[in-house]
Amino acid sequence: MLVASRQVEDVLYGHPAVAEAAVIGLPDERWIEAVTAVVVVRDKVGEAELIAYARERLAAFKAPKRVLFVDRLPRNASGKILKRELRDRFGS
């Protein structure tokens, strides 16, 4: 099934600890491609808490299977998040 990354990102932005979020698909043995959230946080929060938060607000298949924490998201000159860079960085 296709998951709209924007829908998942919007839910994650609703969590008070999340400053920025990008959702990408990463290779996964079980799921073929797993919904993965890459987030910048303003307050301490754990992966399990963010996944549970998303599962309460989304269908189970849309919720992230993994959450990766970064200090900042890569952006181009106009401010767009470079999801290809995130897939390259974390997909191997």
Structural domains in the chain? 5-90 (3.30.300.30)
Residue 22: exposure state from Cβ atoms within 10 A (0-12, 13-18, ≥19): buried
According to the model, what pLDDT value does residue 81 have? 97
Per the CB < 8 A criterion, the answer to whether 60 and 32 are in contact is: no
Averaged pLDDT in 10-residue chunks for the chain of 92 residues: 87 98 93 93 97 96 96 97 96 78
Q: 59-63 — which CB contacts under 8 Å span 24+ positions? A: 61/1, 61/3, 61/35, 62/3, 62/7, 62/8, 62/35, 63/8, 63/35
